Structures are given as C-alpha cells and as structure tokens.
Amino acid sequence: MKILGNNVQPEVAYIMAIVFGVLLLLLFTFYILSKKKPSTMMDELFLRTRSWFFIAIGIGILVIAPSIVGTVLVSYVSFIALREMFSISYFREADRTALAFAYLAIPIQYYFAYHGMHQPFLYFIPVVMFIGLPVLLVLSGKTKGIAVSMCLIPTILMLTIYMLSHIILLFSLEIPNFEIGASGLILFLILCTSFNDVFQFTWGKLLGKNKITPTVSPNKTWAGFIGGILTTGLLAYFIKFLTPLTGLQAILLGLTIGIAGFLGDLIISAIKRDLQIKDTGNLIPGHGGVMDRLDSMILTTPIFYYMLVFFIN
C-alpha cells in the first residue's frame, strides 16, 4: 500500500486508520457535548483529545515517513523534553557551559541511533557524557552546589535522550521473515504504552480503593495497576500481528510494558512532587508538558527494545 509515496504495510495503515477514526469520533462527541452544555470537564476532555489527535499525527509520520524524518521528529521531542527538564530544575550560572554541551548530545546520540551504530550508541551518554559533563563543571571553578549539578545533568540526559533514542534503533533492527519492520514495532510499543496509561486510569476510577504510593502519586491504586497491566497484556496479544513475536511472548511484553509504564509515570511524578509543581510545562493543552506525556515512554522504550532483541535471538 502507498501513502504519500511511501510504502506502508496494510496492517500499519489499518491500525492508524482505526486510531484516527476513534479520535475523530471522540473529538466530535466532546465538541457537541461541550457546545450543548458547557462545562470545564468537557472543555478539558476536548482539549485532551485534540492534543491526542496531534500526537497521533506525529506517530503517523514516525511510522509512515522515511526513517530520517522520524529520527528528526523524535530528536526534536527529546530536545523539548530536555529543555523542559532544564527549565524546571535549579541550576547555577556556572552550569551553563555544561548545559549547552548537554544539548549537543541530542544530534550526536540520534546520529548513532539512525546509523545503527550500536557500540557508540550504548556508551556515548552513559560513559562519554557522564565523564565529560562533570569535567566541564569542574573547569568552571565553582564548587558550591556542584555535586547536585553533577548528578542532575547526566540523569536528565539519560531520561530525555538515551532512553527515548532506542526507538530509532528499531529502524535498523533486522529481523528475518518479518515484513512489517520498524513501523509495526514502533506502533506496537506506542499503542501498548499509551493504552496502558488509559487502562490504569480507567481501572483505577472503576475499582480503585487501596493506594500503592500515597505519598508520591495518590491516584495510583492496586486495582488500577493490576487491571491496567493485565488489559495491556491482552491488547498486546491482539496486536501481535505487528511484531514477529509468538502469542506468549507478546503477552509477556505487554505485561512488562504495563509495569514499566507505571514505574516511569511514578518517577516523573516523584520529581514533580519534589519540585512542588503540577506539570512539567504547558506545551500540550490538556496534558501539561512534554515530559508529562512521555513519562511512561521513557521506561517502556528501552525495555521493549531489549526484550524484543532477546526474544528474536
């Protein structure tokens, strides 16, 4: 099948069509409801769905357009996430040189990812940047508060760049007898991660009683967590045709993505609670910042990648 001159596997096209169809339907419903009986909740739902619609366009570009376009897109998302994390954290004026170099890590890391250069991809941020950034901080000569910056900058790089860039490695992953390729894998990952968020939220609202982490994120309940990961496992089984996996492997991956997504959400929630902020930004209407949306992707992406590689070998 050809879409805008790009070869697209029919499975990917059907899934994207369903996603857009459902989103448009929801958008239309919320629009009518908010016009009929204006309320802040309806406006919020409409805004949220509209933002999901734009996110879906981004995902569509990622799975349909040539991989170079997807790489540029994901690296820009990484850039916004990094900028957001830098903006909400306390930094000293002496940290500015190191922060500037931290931004430079984005094109380098995504270059390695795009060309499938696994070795430098793996060591660039955890080794080169992990050594280089503290050296730059030391060279500034100001030691007051330097330990916090030394820990914070590499951690933010790992969260916003390293983890997310694994998605681009999927483009150069070669799997014998598997035609759908990276677009199917990326779609599988994003669908499982996003719907896991939705499932956990819904189960929590329906049955949630006992809180898991009352001090970090009071909305998380055991019912939401368990119901969420089980439903995600089920979803993974139904969309396993996007991957080269067997049914059991797909379910295992779905369950793991469920747990990882939950943990990623918790990590960002804990950071926000420490900084006493509600959202990491306001770039996505109805959602908050980019990091508020990416929180679960941060953990699910590398875990999905390494489990997938483990299964197909």
Member of 99, 125, 159, 212 binding other proteins (CB under 8 A): 99
Residues 102-131 close enough to bind other proteins by CB under 8 A: 103
CB of 84 or CB of 184, closer to other proteins: 84
- 249-252 contact pairs (CB < 8 A, 24+): 249/311, 252/307
Closer Cβ to other proteins, 2 or 144, answer by number: 144
Selected binder of other proteins within 280, 296, 300, 301 (CB under 8 A)? 280
Using CB under 8 A as the binding rule, the residues of this chain from 41 to 80 that contact other proteins are 79-80
Sole binder of other proteins in the list 18, 100, 147, 309 (CB under 8 A) = 100
Only segment of 63-71, 93-101, 134-142, 155-163 that touches other proteins (CB under 8 A): 93-101
Judged by beta carbon, residue 17 or residue 100, the one nearer other proteins is 100
Nearer to other proteins among residue 68 and residue 277 (C-beta): 277
Is residue 273 a contact residue for other proteins (CB under 8 A)? no
Shortest CB 71 distance to other proteins, Å: 17
- Residue 84 within binding range of other proteins, rule CB under 8 A: yes
Interface with other proteins, residue 282, by CB under 8 A? yes
Is residue 246 part of the contact set for other proteins (CB under 8 A)? no
- Least spacing, CB of residue 83 vs other proteins, in Å: 5
Cβ closer to other proteins: 97 or 143? 97
- Nearer Cβ to other proteins, position 80 or 175? 80
